[in-house]
Amino acid sequence: MSELKGQMLSMILTLAAFGAIAGALIPAFQESAKTAGKAVTAVDDSGAVSYKQYKAAAFTL
């Protein structure tokens, strides 16, 4: 019975860890997507995408 409890505890801890990581990464990716969406200025007839220069947190694109 204690082996089953240990497995259940490890499963709960694993799910909690993945939930915490997802909770931190999803908003970061959403903010990056908004920033990248604002950086795309136009798509011309040939399908080329032009970008405007902007500064991100750690680098310049």
What are the pLDDT digits (tens) for 19-31? 999 999 998 888 8
Separation of alpha carbons 16 and 20, rounded Å: 6
Q: Is the pLDDT of residue 61 over 60?
A: no
Select from 39, 44, 41 the least CA-distant residue to 61.
39
Q: What is the pLDDT of residue 41?
A: 62
pLDDT, averaged across the chain: 79
Q: Is this prediction's pTM over 0.85?
A: no
